[in-house]
Amino acid sequence: MTKKPLELYIHIPFCVKKCAYCDFLSGPSTLEVREAYINCLIEEICHCKHAGVGDSDNKWAPCDPENYEVVSAFFGGGTPSILKPDQIRRIMTALKEVFCWNSDAEVTIEANPGTVDEEKLRNYLDCGINRISFGLQSADNEELRKLGRIHTWEEFLDSFHQARIAGFTNINVDLMSALPGQTVDSWRKTLEKVLELKPEHISAYSLIIEEGTPFYEKYEDHPELLPPEEEERQMYHDTKRILHEHGYERYEISNYARAGYACRHNLGYWDRREYKGFGLGSASLLENRRYTNTCELKQYLQGRIRGTEEELSEQDIREETFFLGLRKMEGIDPGPYGAHYEKLLEKLQMQQLLEEKNGRISLTEYGIDISNYVLAQFLED
C-alpha cells in the first residue's frame, strides 16, 4: 500500500519572556511544568499507535501511522530551543518509533537567539533535526528592545555562527519590518547585515498589531508611533529588490530562499497536505477534517487534549485551495474549482491582479502588493 505524505507539527508553548507583540499560545513556565508537558506530549504521540482503539481520547484526530509517511516536521512555539537537549531527543525518539519517515524528511526547530549552545545544536542534528529557524526580527538593538525581545544582534550572531559550526546547512532567519522607531534606512541595514551571513532562507513579515497584546494597547490609538504607510510600503519593496539582488527567490508572499531551500513544510500547508499536530492548541488536517487540541494547559496536562472538530465542506475546501495556494508565486492549478470561480477569476485578471500561465493561476506583482484583498475575494460568505 502506498503511504500518504504527512507533515507533523509539535507545539512547545514555553518561552523565556512573552514579546509585547506576540499573540501566540505561549508564555513563561517552570522547569517542572515543562517536564510534565513533555511527558504528556510523548503520551499523545504514542496514542497514535492505537488509532481507532480504546477510549475517545485515543481516537482524537485519528491518524493511523500505517497509512502515512512523514515528509516534514516542525517544532514551533513559543521557543522550542528553551527545552533541554534530552527533552527534544525524547520527543524525536517517540515520533520515529510511531511513524514511518521519508529518508529525506525536512525537520525544523524554531530557536530564539541566545537560547542555543553547542550541546543543544549537536543534539538537534544527531536526533534528526536538519533545519533551524532563528527569530531575529531586527539587527538593530534598540528596535529589538522596543519589541520586547530577550536577545541582541550580537547574541544572534553568536547563535548563528554556532549553528554553522555544529553543521547546520539549512538556516532560516525571521525578520520583521514596520517596527516602532524603524526607518527605511534601518530596515535596509538589517537586510544587508543578515545577507552577509548567507542564510539559506529568509522570512520577512510586516508587524501586525494584534488585539489583546501590549502593543495593541500602546499603538492602536497612537499609530503615529509606527512608521507611516508610505515608509512601510518602501520597506516592502526594498525587501523584494534587495533579496532578489542577492539571489533569493521569492516563492511565497513573505518567504524567500536560495535555490533548493524553500521550506517544504510551509509549502505543504499552502498545498493543503495532511498534517498532524501534537501539543497544546495544535491543529490537524486529516481527510478533510480539522481537529484542534485544547488551548488550556491545565486540561492538557491532565490528558484531556480534545478541543474542536470540524468536517470541512466542499466550500471550505474550495476556498482554502485558492486562499492558501495563491500565496505561492507559482500559483495553483484551479482544477475542478475553476468553473465555480470563473467570473471572479475573469474579473481579477481584468483588474490585473491575477494572471494565467500554462494552466496555472497566480498573483501578478500588483496582486501581490494587495494580496489580502485579492485572497479575501475567494471567501464566499
| Grid coordinates given for 274 | 495532511
Residue owning grid cell 530564539: 112
Whether the pLDDT of residue 56 is over 60: the answer is no
- The beta-carbon contacts of 291-296 under 8 Å, at least 24 apart in sequence, are 291/60, 291/61, 293/60, 293/61, 295/25
CB atoms within 10 A of CB 214: 13
Q: What is the mean pLDDT of residues 66-86?
A: 95
Q: What is the mean pLDDT of residues 131-137?
A: 97
CA distance 75 to 343: 41
User: Rounded to two decimals, what is the model's pTM?
Assistant: 0.93
End-to-end, the C-alpha distance of the chain in Å comes to 39
Q: What is the mean pLDDT of residues 222-240?
A: 87
The CATH class that applies to domain 4-270 reads alpha beta
Nearest Cα to 10, choosing from 44, 61, 36, 35? 44
- pLDDT band at 23, cuts 50/70/90? low
**Strands (DSSP E) found in the chain:** 4-12, 68-77, 100-111, 131-137, 171-177, 201-206, 249-252, 255-257, 275-278, 283-286, 289-292, 308-311, 354-357, 360-363
- pLDDT band at 376, cuts 50/70/90? very high
Q: What is the mean pLDDT of residues 172-189?
A: 95
CA distance 282 to 89: 20
Whether the pLDDT of residue 255 is over 90: the answer is yes
Q: Give the CA distances from residue 363 to residues 109, 253, 275, 373, 379, in Å, rounded to whole numbers and listed in that order.
A: 30, 10, 26, 12, 16
Asked if 297 contacts 30 with a C-beta cutoff of 8 angstroms, the reply is no
Residues 300-348 have pLDDT tens digits of 999 999 999 999 999 999 999 999 999 999 999 998 899 999 999 999 9
CA distance 231 to 238: 10
Whether the pLDDT of residue 252 is over 50: the answer is yes
The confidence score (pLDDT) of residue 79 equals 92
The confidence score (pLDDT) of residue 55 equals 46
Whether the pLDDT of residue 350 is over 90: the answer is yes
CATH 3.20.20.70 in the chain, residue ranges: 4-270
Helix (H, G, I), strand (E, B) or coil at 328: strand
The confidence score (pLDDT) of residue 100 equals 96
The confidence score (pLDDT) of residue 216 equals 64
CA distance 236 to 242: 10
CA distance 95 to 99: 6
